Amino acid sequence: MARSQRSVKLETRTARLKLPIGSRNFVTICEGVALGYRRTGEGFGTWQARIWDGTQYHYRKLGVADDHRDTNGVDVLSFIQAQDLARAFIEEITNPKVTLRPVTVAEAVERYLKWYREHRRAYKETETTIKAHILPHFNNRLITEISTHEIRHWHNTLAAQPARVRVRTGAKPAYKDKPVTEGQKRSRKSTANRILTVLKAILNKAFQDELIPDNAAWRRVKPFANADEPITRFLTEAECTRLINTCRPDFRQLVKSALFTGARYSELARLCVADVNTDTGMIYVSPEAKSGRGRHVPLSAEGLDFFKSQIAGRSGKEPVFTREDGTPWGKNHYSRLLKQSCAIAKIEPEIGFHELRHTYASLLAQAGADLLTISKLLGHSDTRITSRHYAHLCDQTLKNAVQTLLPSFGHKSASKVQAIR
């Protein structure tokens, strides 16, 4: 493998984010081959290969830079990965007459899922997305026959469709009402963007495996702008108390543990007695977690007392939380119970279990915890994820500036007005 080149301006995301919007920067990585980076108006950058064949330049967009998203080696690329793809582009330029066997989308899906199972998480969710939204439309179509117009029309149709409702396996698909409000439309566009990303990843994998000669058709299709703004729903302390008081006893313990730790439902469901250390006042979230790394979460005095009561007199391998019949908590066992509790507690709109995790982080942010601390407590692999959801709650500088620097404009606060005696 050729040696990777260095570039002070391009090799780290911190350096790239300092570059001016719209700027183009190239670094030569081998004879006749340069890797380019362009900072777009949306704030992220794209990688581009530039090849000189002795007569003219050839350009090829390689993918998005990992400025704000974790690299996946397919359509989100690091500086080193982009160099590898740029070098691979040389073969296509120097051997343009290579004949490729026609490949269908279904064949590309099969290859992609095989790769995904070995290298990525959330396999089941990705497979479900493909079966529900991609294969029904493209399935046995030859990739080389799919046009930009068709992909763009499919993308727009996804955004206009009502959201699907979870049904039993084998049951007929069911749908919610058609999106009407701006929030509902934004949500559907966000979903359509995520599905488009999966389709592009599948087709890019086929292109990188040299199964198809060109990737221009889907490269021209852009996601909806401003559709992925995070809407972080969290409860107030009063709402938390109301919710806890309306929960079924066994479910109440699970809800309280989520508010004390910020752990995910799946993490709490597999938490064992041995994972609770009453000496250090911490719980250990095992490395099978979504992030792929284990973490220790410190407990407040009240949280420690709560966990002590849960594990008293029990052995190390027992689950900390079980259902009222003694069986473990399984996937989606909480859905109906949480829906009922929200209705009784008058929490509108109703929340999902993940909003308890948001509540934990949001209350810490409002109390003055910094983003790095919150990121470590939640087990985020990158502080950019934390910043996207909680930065507006953490920024005490903005609050202090308004409170101390803005003039009163002649207004007197009621708390400062004294009655005339």
In whole numbers, what is the pLDDT of the chain averaged over residues? 85
Output the pLDDT for position 98.
46
Buried b / exposed e along 107-141 (16+ C-beta atoms within 10 A): bbbeebbebbeeeeeeeeebeebbeebbeebbeee
Mean pLDDT of 108-125: 89
Q: What is the pLDDT of residues 105-114, one digit of tens each?
A: 999 999 999 9
Output the pLDDT for position 390.
77
Instruction: Decide: pTM greater than 0.75.
Output: no
Write down the residue that tokens 């998005």 correspond to. 64
Instruction: For residues 85 and 76, give the distance between their C-alpha atoms in angstroms, rounded to a whole number.
Output: 12
Between strands 282-285 and 295-298, the pairing is antiparallel
Q: How confident is the model at residue 172 (pLDDT cuts 50, 70, 90)?
A: confident
Q: What percent of the chain has pLDDT over 70?
A: 89
Cα atoms in the 13 Å half-sphere on the side-chain side of 234:
20
Mean pLDDT of 113-135: 90
Q: Which domains does the chain have, with CATH numbers?
A: 13-94 (3.30.160.390), 105-219 (1.10.150), 237-398 (1.10.443.10)
Q: What is the pLDDT of residues 41-54, one digit of tens each?
A: 666 788 888 888 77
Output the pLDDT for position 291.
47
- Can you read off the two tokens belonging to residue 350? 């109703």
Q: How confident is the model at residue 289 (pLDDT cuts 50, 70, 90)?
A: very low
Nearest to 234 by CA among 361, 149, 107: 361
Instruction: For residues 196 and 140, give the distance between their C-alpha atoms in angstroms, rounded to a whole number.
Output: 18
Which of 51-55, 130-134, 160-164 is the least confident region? 51-55
Q: Is the pLDDT of residue 92 over 70?
A: no
Q: What is the pLDDT of residues 343-383, one digit of tens each?
A: 999 998 899 999 999 999 989 988 888 888 888 899 887 77
Q: At what angle do helices 335-345 and 249-261 cross, to 10 degrees?
A: 90
Mean pLDDT of 291-316: 89
Top-confidence residue, 87 or 393: 87
**Cis peptide bond upstream of 349, omega within 30:** yes
What is the C-alpha end-to-end distance of the chain, expressed in Å?
88
